[in-house]
Copies of this chain bind each other. A is one copy, B any other.
Amino acid sequence: MTNSTTPHTVPRASLKRLPLYLHLLENLMADGVEYVSCTQLAKEFDFDAILVRKDIELTGEVGTARIGFKVATLIGSIKSFLGWDKEQDAFLVGVGNLGKAILGYKDFKKYGLNIVAAFDNDSRKVGTKVFGYEIFSTSKFGDLAKRMHIYVGIITVPPEHAQEAVDLMVDAGIKAIWNFSPAPLRIPEGVILENVRLTQSLAVLTNKLKRVFKS
């Protein structure tokens, strides 16, 4: 009776809340907390408790009335649901300011993402090392990706070169692309594209701010 009610379309909004819970749960775990209720979780984020329960329901985890959910197993369920239980190896293309910051960020491993190599087409960067990662020429991307069975690609090149990076990745058999450039990209059927648009977040901020100043 766990997954019989699971809808075939996972709400994107739920998918985005689950990492929030996970992060908090890991803190609770570290503090030795054994059980947590939806009410408690909800309070932390100013969500509705029922919303949290519905999100958790997606993962298949079942709780106990009056007690809530076991922190340790809930962490496992969320990770498994998100695909963070086993590490995904990834290649990064574009070792500029943002690319470097991502290479230097150790926590992605916790979230199942293991960056194994980085690529750039600037000959001055090729051969150098950044946070222990050797920078390869993009010409090596295809061979290495196939040899190492890489299915995840991260794009941190300028927008005008983002489509090139996509094409490179698609040719190399990459199945999922995490794109940080603001360019609209074309991908073939079957390849997953997830965009990080900082300006979207900025838009929400400034629009709200505008209304604060008005009133």
Report A's interface with B, CB cutoff 8 A: 10, 12, 15-20, 23-24, 44-45, 81-84, 88, 97-98, 100-101, 104-105, 108, 111-113, 151-152, 175-176, 178, 182-184, 190, 192, 194-210, 212
- The reply to whether A202 and B100 contact each other, CB–CB distance below 8 Å, is no
Flag if B83 contacts A210 (CB, 8 Å).
Answer: yes
Interface SS of chain A: helix, strand, loop or mixed? helix
What residues of B have a CB within 8 angstroms of the CB of A100 in the complex?
Answer: 97, 101
Say whether A197 contacts B81, CB under 8 Å.
no
Cβ-defined contact, B101 with A19, below 8 A: no
What's the nearest-Cβ distance from chain B to residue A120, in Å?
A: 15
Q: Are A23's CB and B182's CB within 8 A?
A: yes
Q: What's the number of copies of this chain in the assembled complex?
A: 2
Residues in chain B near residue A198, CB distance under 8 A = 196
Q: Is the CB of A206 within 8 A of B97?
A: no
Q: How far is the CA of A17 from the CA of B209 in the complex (A)?
A: 18
Given contact pairs A175-B212, A195-B201, a sample of 13 additional A-B residue pairs in the complex whose CB atoms are under 8 Å apart: A16-B204, A19-B202, A19-B203, A20-B182, A23-B199, A82-B206, A97-B100, A97-B101, A97-B104, A111-B199, A111-B202, A113-B202, A196-B201
Can you report 17 residue pairs joining A to B where beta carbons are below 8 Å apart? A16-B197, A19-B197, A23-B183, A23-B184, A24-B184, A84-B206, A88-B209, A97-B104, A97-B105, A108-B202, A111-B206, A113-B206, A152-B205, A190-B212, A192-B208, A194-B208, A195-B201
